[in-house]
Amino acid sequence: MCAACRARAPRESLLRFVVDAEGEVWVDAFLKAPGRGVHLCYTAECLSLAVKKRAFQQSLKRSLPPLSLETLISRVSEAQARKLDDLISLSRRRRVSVSGLNVLTSSASKLKLLILASDIAENSAHQLESKASCEVIRYGDSASLGVTQGKEKRVAIGITDSKLASLIAQEFHRYRQLSVAS
């Protein structure tokens, strides 16, 4: 249940926050940190409402240092970006990602998700988007996408596994929803 709006939702569809030993509130992106947590919807409205209602203090049943909405949104955005990077890296380890313009063009029919870097050349982006029959998202730059694939730079990555592609797309939409609000 969301501690701000009180809406009921599956645990996996909510943000989870925990407090460290110093009393700082942190995002538990993978829902695995030990101890009591606070759950919120993935919306800027619920984050704002949680700060106003002091939902963290009430749910955790302890006093905490003041937390600003900007800090909270920043931590959530950073955690979501790390989670996205981890999931994209996982695609490489599972061998369900392809990169390189020629390879992506030739395997466009197998792609379940296409991730384009923000600094991709528009001609290359248009060429890939016209061939791909899957969802296309723009995330990160060529250097950050390259790191996820163990390469120096990558301007585009295709995901061939539908389950992982769906999870990456879901987390990307959550990330965009919160980064637009900040």
pLDDT digits (tens, 9 = 90+) for 51-79: 998 888 888 888 888 888 888 888 888 89
Q: Cα–Cα distance between 53 and 62 in angstroms, integer?
A: 14
Give the model's pLDDT for residue 20. Answer: 83
Which helix or strand (DSSP H or E) is residue 49 part of? Answer: helix 44-53
CB 38 within 8 A of CB 3: yes
20-to-35, 86, 128, 143, 167 alpha-carbon distances in Å: 10, 22, 44, 32, 28
Please give the domain boundaries of the chain with CATH numbers for all domains: 11-67 (3.30.1230.10), 80-181 (3.30.1330.30)
Give the model's pLDDT for residue 88. Answer: 96
pTM tops 0.85, yes or no: no
Give the model's pLDDT for residue 90. Answer: 96
Give the model's pLDDT for residue 64. Answer: 82
| Residue stretches of the chain with pLDDT short of 70 | 179-182
135 forms bridges with which residues in the sheet? 113
- DSSP letter for 24, please: -
